[in-house]
Amino acid sequence: MLKISKICFIVSGLLLIADSTLMILNKPNPLGLPLPCPITLIILGIGLILFSVAKK
């Protein structure tokens, strides 16, 4: 479970960098979603939950 949470953190980190770059450049999200992308926040939340469960 710890390995999956690390993967979620890496993926969400890359997506957050992409989201922030789009926000700085005033470009819309190519998926048509608002920035920051809800998918990014969901992956980050899953990573946090898995990390907290795995650390117990």
Question: What pLDDT, on a 0 to 100 scale, did the predictor assign at position 42?
Answer: 93
Question: What pLDDT, on a 0 to 100 scale, did the predictor assign at position 45?
Answer: 93
Contacts of 37 (CB under 8 A, 6+ apart): 15, 19, 29, 31
Question: What pLDDT, on a 0 to 100 scale, did the predictor assign at position 9?
Answer: 94
Q: Compute mean pLDDT per 10 residues along the chain, 56 residues long, and list them.
A: 92 92 89 84 93 86
Please give the residue range of the domain that contains residue 23.
2-54
Structural domain tally of the chain? 1
Question: What pLDDT, on a 0 to 100 scale, did the predictor assign at position 31?
Answer: 78
Question: What's the whole-model pTM score?
Answer: 0.81
Question: What pLDDT, on a 0 to 100 scale, did the predictor assign at position 33?
Answer: 80
